[in-house]
C-alpha cells in the first residue's frame, strides 16, 4: 500500500547527521544516522571536515530513502535543519571548502570579540541582531577564515567564494551549486543580519569585514530552495523547508503561540521562548532571535544557549570511558543519593547564557575517595538541569511567567533526567511522543510549502504528548542543591589558570 506525501527531513547535527522520512501524520517511516569525527586542533578550537558533513548527509539520506520506499513511501519534498552558527567558506567554482568548518562551539575569535566590545560596538550589534559579541556566532568565524587562508579575502571580494552555515552548504551540494540560499532563522544567527528589516546589514558587514558577495540569499522557512540532483538520491526532490535546529524544534513542538517554550537537549541545550511578532530585548543576557518566518508571518523568540549537554555524556563515553552508551547514565544516576556533593561544570568550550564567558573551562567539585563513576555520571546529568534552571530564571527576571516546559532531543529519553529537571526548575515538564522534533519541524515546514498542511493549526493537531513530569522535590532540598551549583559555577568563573 503506497504512502503518499512523505517528507525526507535532513537533520545535520554537531556530532552526527540524520535523515528521517515522515508520513503526513508525523509518524516515522524510516531513519538513518551516522556520526562523524570532531577535530580539536587547539584549546577551544572545534572543527569539522566539510566532506565528512556532506558524505554523512548523503549516506543517511540514501539509507532512509531506501528503507522508506521499500515500505511504499512516496517522497514529495525535503526539509533541512542544521547545527547553527557553524561556518563554511567554499569556492563557488569547485564547491570545495577552503578551510574546515568552524563549529559553533569554537572559541578562537574570543579576543576579536573582546576588542570589538572594547571599541564600543556591542550596543549597535545587539540592537540590529539581538545577539551579543561572542565567538559563538558566525561573523567573526568568517573573518578569521578570510584573514588566515592565503588569498581568501581577495577572492571573496571579487565574488569567487561563498559563505554559508551548514544548511547553505547542503543546499549548494544537493542542487549542484545552482542555489546559494539560507533561511531567515540561520541568517539571524550570524551577527550579520538585521532581525528588524530581515535583511543582511551593511553596517554589520563593514564592522566584521565580510564582503556582501559571499552571502546567500535569505528566504522564509517555507520556500523553494531548488531541487536535489536526481544523480544524488535517485530522484529530483524539491527542497521546501529550512530552519536552524532550535527553530525547527520550536516548530516541531508546535510552540506557535506567544509564551510557549521548549528546551532541546542535544549536543548542547537550547531554551526558546516564543515572544510573538515583537522582538524583546533581554536585560539578562538572553538572545533575541527570529523564531520562524512562515507564509508572511514572522515570530521572534528569547533564547538561552547551553553549549554542552549531550556532548558531556559523549565525553563520559569517549573521553573518560566510564560508560559504553548514553542509556547507562540513567541507572548510574539512580544509585546515588540527591545530596552527594559532587558538581560538574561542563564548560569545555566556555559558558553560554546567562554568563557568557568564552575563556572559562570546565571543573569538578566535591571529589572524595568515595567518588566513583556513578557520581560523575549523575553530576553530569544534573549540570544540564542546573543550567536550564539558570536560563529559566533569567527569563522569569524578564517578567515572563513560566508554567510548563516542553522538552525534546536524545537526552530526554532518560526518565531520571526528566524528573530531576522538573524537580530543579519546579514546573511541569512535557515530553512528546516523537523526540526527534528538530527533524519533525523541518518536515512540517516542507509539508506546509508543498501543501500537505494548510497552516500551523493543522500542525498543532498532530502534536502528541508522551509523558508529563511534575516537580516532587522538597523546596529546602532544591534550594541546597542549587546553592551548591551556584557555588561551583561562580568558583569556575573565578578560576584563572
Residue of 175, 188, 159 lying closest to 250 (CA atoms): 188
Between CA 138 and CA 454 the distance in angstroms is 34
Phi, psi (rounded to 5 degrees) for 246: -70, -30
pTM of the full predicted structure?
A: 0.88
- Alpha-carbon separation of residue 80 from 64, 174, 472 (angstroms): 14, 11, 39
Residue of 308, 310, 301 lying closest to 271 (CA atoms): 301
Instruction: Give the chain's end-to-end CA distance (angstroms, integer).
Output: 64
Provide the residue ranges of all domains of the chain, joining segments of one domain with +: 3-244
Query: 185 by DSSP, 3-state: which?
Result: helix
Between CA 200 and CA 343 the distance in angstroms is 43
Encode the chain (497 residues) as per-residue pLDDT tens digits: 789 999 999 999 998 999 999 999 999 999 999 999 999 999 889 999 999 999 999 999 999 999 999 999 999 999 999 999 999 999 999 999 999 999 998 999 999 999 999 999 999 999 999 999 999 899 999 999 999 999 999 999 999 999 999 999 999 999 999 999 999 999 999 999 999 999 999 999 999 999 999 999 999 999 999 999 999 999 999 999 999 999 999 999 999 988 899 998 988 888 999 999 989 888 888 899 999 999 999 999 999 988 888 889 999 999 999 899 988 999 999 999 988 999 999 998 888 888 888 888 999 999 999 999 999 999 999 999 999 999 999 888 888 888 899 999 889 999 999 999 999 999 999 999 988 899 999 999 999 999 999 998 899 888 888 999 999 999 999 999 999 999 999 999 988 76
The CATH number of the structural domain formed by 3-244 is 3.30.420.40
Q: Is 451 exposed, middle or buried (0-12, 13-18, 19+ CB in 10 A)?
A: exposed
Task: Specify whether the CB–CB gap between 107 and 358 falls below 8 A.
Answer: yes
Amino acid at each position: 500500500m503506497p504512502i503518499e506525501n512523505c517528507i525526507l527531513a535532513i537533520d545535520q547535527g554537531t556530532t552526527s547527521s540524520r535523515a528521517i522520512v515522515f508520513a503526513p501524520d508525523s509518524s516515522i517511516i524510516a531513519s538513518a544516522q551516522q556520526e562523524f569525527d570532531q577535530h580539536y586542533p587547539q584549546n577551544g578550537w572545534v572543527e569539522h571536515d566539510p566532506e565528512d558533513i556532506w558524505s554523512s548527509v548523503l549516506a543517511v539520506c540514501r539509507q532512509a530513502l531506501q528503507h522508506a520506499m521499500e515500505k511504499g513511501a512516496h517522497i514529495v519534498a525535503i526539509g533541512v535543519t542544521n547545527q547553527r552558527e557553524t561556518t563554511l567558506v567554499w569556492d563557488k567554482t569547485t564547491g570545495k571548502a577552503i578551510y574546515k568548518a568552524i563549529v559553533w562551539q569554537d572559541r578562537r575569535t574570543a579576543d576579536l570579540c573582546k576588542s570589538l566590545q572594547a571599541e564600543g560596538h556591542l550596543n549597535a550589534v545587539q540592537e540590529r541582531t539581538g545577539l551579543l559579541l561572542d565567538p559563538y556566532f558566525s561573523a567573526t568565524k568568517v573573518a578569521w577564515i578570510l584573514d588566515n587562508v592565503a588569498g581568501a579575502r581577495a577572492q571573496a571580494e571579487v565574488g569567487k567564494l561563498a559563505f554559508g552555515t551548514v544548511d547553505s552548504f547542503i543546499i549548494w551540494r544537493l542542487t549542484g551549486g545552482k542555489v546559494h540560499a539560507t533561511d531567515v532563522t540561520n541568517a539571524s544567527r550570524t551577527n550579520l543580519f538585521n532581525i528588524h528589516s530581515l535583511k543582511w546589514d551593511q553596517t554589520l558587514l563593514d564592522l566584521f569585514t565580510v564582503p556582501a558577495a559571499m552571502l546567500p540569499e535569505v528566504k522564509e522557512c517555507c520556500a523553494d530552495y531548488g531541487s536535489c540532483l536526481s544523480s544524488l538520491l535517485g530522484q529530483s526532490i524539491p527542497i521546501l523547508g529550512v530552519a536552524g535546529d532550535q527553530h525547527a524544534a520550536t516548530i516541531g513542538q508546535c510552540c506557535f503561540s506567544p509564551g510557549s517554550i521548549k528546551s532541546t537537549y542535544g549536543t548542547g541545550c537550547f531554551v526558546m521562548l516564543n515572544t510573538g511578532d515583537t522582538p524583546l530585548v533581554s536585560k539578562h543576557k538572553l538572545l533575541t532571535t527570529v523564531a520562524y518566518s512562515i507564509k508572511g508571518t514572522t515570530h521572534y523568540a528569547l533564547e538561552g544557549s547551553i553549549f554542552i549537554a549531550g556532548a558531556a555524556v559523549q565525553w563520559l563515553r569517549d573521553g573518560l570511558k566510564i560508560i559504553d552508551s548514553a542509556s547507562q547514565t540513567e541507572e548510574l544516576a539512580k544509585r546515588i543519593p540527591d545530596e552527594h556533593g559532587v558538581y560538574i561544570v561542563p564548560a569545555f568550550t566556555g559558558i553560554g547564557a546567562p554568563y557568557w564567558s568564552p575563556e572559562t573551562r570546565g571543573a569538578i567539585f566535591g571529589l572524595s575517595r568515595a567518588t566513583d563513576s556513578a557520581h560523575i555520571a549523575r553530576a553530569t546529568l544534573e549540570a544540564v538541569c542546573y543550567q536550564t534552571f539558570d536560563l529559566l530564571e533569567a527569563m522569569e527576571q524578564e517578567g515572563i511567567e513560566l508554567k510548563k516546559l516542553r522538552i525534546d532531543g536524545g537526552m530526554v529519553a532518560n526518565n531520571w533526567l526528566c524528573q530531576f529537571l522538573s524537580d530543579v526548575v519546579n514546573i511541569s515538564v512535557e515530553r512528546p511522543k516523537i523526540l526527534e522534533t528538530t527533524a519533525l519541524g523541518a518536515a512540517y515546514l516542507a509539508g506546509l510549502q508543498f501543501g500537505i498542511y494548510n497552516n500551523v493549526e493543522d500542525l498543532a493537531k498532530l502534536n502528541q504528548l508522551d509523558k508529563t513530569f511534575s516537580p516532587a522535590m522538597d523546596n529546602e532540598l532544591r534550594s541546597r542543591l542549587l546553592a551548591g551549583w551556584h557555588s561551583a559555577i561562580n568558583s569556575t568563573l573565578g578560576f584563572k589558570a
